[in-house]
Amino acid sequence: MDSQVQHIIRKLALLTPEHRAEAEDFIDFLRQRQSRSNDALARDFTCASEKSFAKVWDNEEDAIYDDL
């Protein structure tokens, strides 16, 4: 296990149960924010690539797949 993670675990062990619960809530908040950030980044990359792929996606030969 990473030494930084072990260091944080040792600090958590010193907290009261109530403060550990607060720390866990904060960790959940950070993970959720990180996930949203990753989703936004993926969305940005998708939007940026749409123009590049337009010629490939929009053609008569593959039009049959447009309704799937």
Residue-range definition of the domain harbouring residue 31: 7-59
Question: Is 24 inside a domain boundary?
Answer: yes
Question: Is 68 inside a domain boundary?
Answer: no
Question: Is 49 inside a domain boundary?
Answer: yes
Instruction: Look up residue 49 and give its amino acid.
Output: S
Q: What are the tens digits of pLDDT across the range 31-62? A: 999 888 888 888 888 888 888 887 777 778 87
Question: Is 39 inside a domain boundary?
Answer: yes
Max CA pair span of the chain: 66
Would the pTM of this model clear 0.85, i.e. be above it? no
Q: How many domains does the chain have?
A: 1
Question: Is 27 inside a domain boundary?
Answer: yes
Question: Is 30 inside a domain boundary?
Answer: yes
Question: Is 37 inside a domain boundary?
Answer: yes
